[in-house]
Amino acid sequence: MREINVSEVTALVRRLCMEANYRLPEDVAQSFETGRAAEQSPLGRTIFDEMIRNCKLACEQDVPICQDTGSAVIFAEVGQDVHLTGGAFEDAVNEGVRQGYVDGYLRKSIVSDPLRRVNTDDNTPAMLHTRIVPGESVKIIVAPKGGGSENMSAMKMFTPAATKEVIADWIADTVIAAGSNPCPPVIIGVGLGGTADKAAALAKEALLRPVGQFSEDPLYAEMEHRILDRVNASGVGPQGLGGTVTALSCAILPFATHIASLPCAVSIGCHVTRHAEGTL
């Protein structure tokens, strides 16, 4: 049994909130270069140039890549042989978010109640997904999620008779209908199976898969290719101003489901699909 004081969790979350908002993961940044090379619209290529310049400046100057520094979506894996001391885990995570967003001059975008809409002034609480896993370490991924792209999320409960082509085309059409709202070029995360809530969580987790990497399962890889081809043939383009690169990547995460069900959730990541991870 390894002891970890929750103050270490707070310090890690604080650092990751800033890191995720200042620096894109290498695979996402690299996809801007390959996206630019593939883009056929001159205006689209100019937008890619601006995206590349924006990310470089944010990184060099330790400022947010985008003014919307997002909801603090956090995935935590806590080893079952860890004994957390000094307080409650969730409190420590939220304290890390508070410190990260206040000290890092990140926009505070969270309201405490969906109808009363009073800003919490520190971007808490985190949208926390915690799993207990084997081992004696704590892994944390901070994945800030912008409101514009999050608002384009969708869910459909298909019947089990739905074909993979019908499902793929619905996913693609959902992304196309979103147009410029999620700040394309986008990354498409899909959760397929489980229950409605499980599918939604998987869709968000799917956004963490390295950009350009397809499923190891040929069935899902084929669907991912079909979705990408259809979305990129739509002409929406970078920032919705026309072009041939509307989506950079698509990841489907399947899960076991009920014999009567086939839930499908889509989470659209904007071109600033951020995340940073660390382990204690």
Binding residues vs ligand SF4 (CB under 6 A): 66, 68, 70, 146-149, 182-183, 270-272
Closest approach of Cβ 70 to ligand SF4, in Å? Answer: 6
Nearest residue (CB) to ligand SF4, 271 versus 275? 271
Specify whether the CB–CB gap between 144 and 150 falls below 8 A: no
Task: CB nearer to ligand SF4: give 119 or 151.
Answer: 151
CA dist., res. 161 & res. 212, Å (int): 30
Nearest approach, Cβ of 185 to ligand SF4 (angstroms)?
11
Q: By C-beta, is 182 or 254 nearer to ligand SF4?
A: 182
Smallest distance from ligand SF4 to CB 165, Å: 29
Neighbours of 92 (CB within 10 A): 22
Question: Cα separation of 225 and 231, whole Å?
Answer: 10
Is 92 or 178 the residue whose CB approaches ligand SF4 more closely?
178
Nearest to 51 by CA among 35, 71, 40: 35
Toward ligand SF4, which CB reaches closer, 64 or 263? 64
Calculate the alpha carbon distances from 31 to 34, 38, 50, 210, 274 in Å. 5, 10, 14, 10, 13
Q: Which residue is nearest to ligand SF4 (CB)?
A: 146
Q: What is the C-alpha separation between 87 and 85, in angstroms, rounded?
A: 6
Task: Name every residue whose Cβ is closer than 8 Å to that of residue 163 and which is 6 or more positions away in sequence.
Answer: none
